[in-house]
Amino acid sequence: MAGLEQDDGAGLIRDAEDPHLRADGPDLPGREIGDGDDQLAAQLRRLVMHGELGARSTGADRTEIDQQFVRGFAGFGKRLRLDDPANPHLDPLEVRDVDQRPSLPNMLSVVSHPEAMPLTPSEMRDLFPIARRYAYLDHAAIAPLATPVRSAMTVFLDRLLEEPFEPAHWERLRTQVRTRVGELLSVGPEGITFTRNTTAGLGLVAAGLDWRQGDNIVGVDREFPANIYPWMGLKSRGVDLRLHRPENGRIDVEALLGLCDGRTRVLTISAVQFWSGFRADLAALSKGLRGREVLLVVDAIQAVGALKLDLSAVAVDLLAAGAQKWLLGPIGIGFAYVSPRMLERMRPVTIGADSVVRDREYVDYDLAFKPDARRYEEAAPNYPGILGMGAAINLLLRADPARVETTVLRLADRLRDELPRRGYALVFTPTAAGERSGIVSFRHPRIIPAEVHAGLREKGIIISLRADFLRASAHFYNSDEDVSRLLDALPQ
């Protein structure tokens, strides 16, 4: 019979027969959980299936998993104790009201390995309370939070209410999240640095390269400001920003590459354009820059989490994203991937104790930077944000990024097919499969977009109003019923 495993240092339960695991609460004061507790088994299975507890199936069917839980899982009552001094394998973290605030180490340790139970769209939907009331189709703006994301953040905050701060404990979890981000991008954790948002990640390049008067940057017109203002700010240093203007929303790779010359230091582009949904051909851009001294910088916030990005196959020098959109994470946290080439060229600008090798030496100063992307983190990490982002990425990994992309594109394709039949014009119409993303922007020739937007919101349908058009962006957990709800509510 398959047992429960433990990741080293992560606090996962290793042995389903561990005698130290017991129920501990007013309703279950230390008693053994019997085989007949079917309701309890179902609750425990639900928590694992939803990514809220760290069990992994190694091939057992669900009945067998239920039996494992009722015989050996840590006590499930008003309190679940993971701080039993008799069991050194358990993380010293006490969790209350397990259905709302699960064990953080366990939650972050469930990854999308073949033996992990996959997360289906309907199972993920159950984790989003907002989906009970709204057809939420606005992930290109601000995503709602899943219960495990809130739980991850709450565990940290509640721990500080009752216990002293334990740096080693939370650093171990920060390392886990760094690894999860790397998994999502198919790169190692050494290339990942945590940031506040996308702008901060792109700002690392704008502030950290050794710019010289006469240098230039090549970008795209009508980009989101996060990928414009950091480069415009270099004008005072004599650096020129050259912008390619898309034709009918389509970015021409050859035209973009044609703007580069011997003084071009950076080519910067969004993986997906926020207004049109056009998906850039990063592979073609990377190939076109091969052999040149031009750094490829990518704003990925409208792609990562919705579309599968494999940076082991596409050479990108820096990729930045915030967590609050398709990644399904909280506001105020993000990450950047930094390539080895960029690591050599981009100096840290804001330097703190976390930037250097001897990060716990406070008076014997030594400005020796860490050998990897951690050098760009200065001090006082945003642990709630990092852990919330980690829980969100964990859900995406369990769902499988390739399956997520397939579902996102299918829902977007349906909108692109049906909107014109209802009198709405698409802002951008893909002509090749590789141009598609989860963003669908549209307008009606006679109806004011703001009025449509307000009417939809009154009916519990959430999309974006952008200038003179509307934008819908469905995610993996959205259903066809959500899409139908939007289509049926649109005035014609």
Residue 75, Ramachandran bin (φ over 0: left; ψ between -120 and 50: alpha; else beta): beta
Percent above pLDDT 90 for the chain: 75
What is the C-alpha R_g of the chain?
24
Enter the tokens of residue 402: 């390739």
**Residue 105: is its pLDDT beyond 80?**
no
Q: How confident is the model at residue 29 (pLDDT cuts 50, 70, 90)?
A: very low
Cα–Cα distance measured from residue 291 to residue 376, given in angstroms and rounded to the nearest whole number: 27
User: Which of 168-172, 190-194, 273-277 comes out lowest in average pLDDT?
Assistant: 168-172
pLDDT at residue 437, rounded to an integer = 98
pLDDT at residue 117, rounded to an integer = 73
**Residue 253: is its pLDDT beyond 50?**
yes
**Residue 99: is its pLDDT beyond 80?**
no
Give the CA distances from residue 171 to residues 56, 102, 296, 365, in Å, rounded to whole numbers and listed in that order: 24, 19, 31, 22
Mean pLDDT of the chain: 82
CATH architecture entry for 127-139+157-380+395-492: 3-Layer(aba) Sandwich (3.40)
Q: How confident is the model at residue 118 (pLDDT cuts 50, 70, 90)?
A: confident
Which of the pair, 389 or 31, is modelled with greater confidence? 389
The residues, ordered by sequence, that sit 6+ positions from 26 with a Cβ below 8 Å of its Cβ are: 77, 78
Give residue-wise pLDDT tens across range 288-326: 999 999 999 999 999 999 999 999 999 999 999 999 999
Amino acid, single-letter form, for residue 457? R
CA angle 435/440/441 to nearest 5° reads 115
**Residue 139: is its pLDDT beyond 80?**
yes
| Average pLDDT rounded to a whole number, residues 256-268 | 97
pLDDT at residue 116, rounded to an integer = 59
Residue with structure tokens 């989003």? 128
Give residue-wise pLDDT tens across range 340-364: 999 999 999 999 999 999 999 999 9
Give residue-wise pLDDT tens across range 1-17: 333 333 333 332 223 33
pLDDT at residue 73, rounded to an integer = 28
CA angle 57/63/69 to nearest 5° reads 65
**Residue 101: is its pLDDT beyond 90?**
no
pTM (two decimals): 0.80
| Average pLDDT rounded to a whole number, residues 406-431 | 97
Domain map (residue ranges) of the chain: 1-117, 127-139+157-380+395-492
With the CA atoms of 414, 119, 135 and 143 taken in that order, what torsion angle do they form, in degrees rounded to the nearest 10? -100
pLDDT at residue 32, rounded to an integer = 37
Give residue-wise pLDDT tens across range 59-69: 333 333 333 33
